């Protein structure tokens, strides 16, 4: 499992954040992801590899096609852990206001 530093490095790039947004509605083949961007396919492949290594996307092979899906729970857990460490009192206050 990737550490928090690799997750935040992956999220630092706007193209990778856009890829995650494209995957929010469900799994997509790599070719379809690449077609949505105005950069070379090998560059999109590199971005997908970084997201995969950070644990933010999952990869599935079907024949000669690679499909990617966002790992929403992993992303949410990483962000939650960071926010809990940085501003725990803010989270507690928000929970109390909701009650």
SS3 71: coil
Asked if residue 92 is part of any domain, the answer here is: no
Q: Is residue 26 part of a domain?
A: yes
**Whether pLDDT at 64 is above 80:** yes
Provide the percentage of residues in the chain whose pLDDT is more than 90: 69
> Which has the higher per-residue pLDDT, 87 or 35?
35
60 in a structural domain = yes
User: How far apart, in Å, do the first and last CA atoms of the chain sit?
Assistant: 35
Structure confidence by residue, pLDDT tens digits, 24-49: 999 999 999 999 999 999 999 999 99
CA-CA-CA-CA torsion sign (33, 38, 39, 40): positive
| CATH number for the domain harbouring residue 65 | 1.10.10.10
- DSSP label at residue 86: H
> Which range of residues forms the domain containing residue 40?
4-71
Number of domains the chain contains: 1
> Which pTM value belongs to this model?
0.82
E-assigned strand segments in the chain: 28-29, 57-62, 65-70
26: left (phi > 0), else alpha (psi -120 to 50), else beta? left
């Amino acid at each position: 499992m990737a550490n928090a530093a690799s997750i935040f490095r992956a999220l630092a790039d706007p193209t990778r954040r856009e890829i995650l947004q494209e995957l929010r509605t469900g799994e997509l083949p790599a070719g379809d992801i690449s077609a949505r961007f105005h950069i070379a396919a090998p560059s999109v492949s590199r971005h997908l590899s970084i997201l995969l290594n950070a644990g933010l996307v999952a990869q599935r092979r079907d024949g000669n096609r690679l499909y990617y899906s966002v790992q929403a729970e992993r992303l949410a857990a990483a962000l939650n852990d960071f926010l809990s460490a940085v501003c725990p009192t803010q989270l507690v206050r928000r929970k109390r206001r909701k009650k």
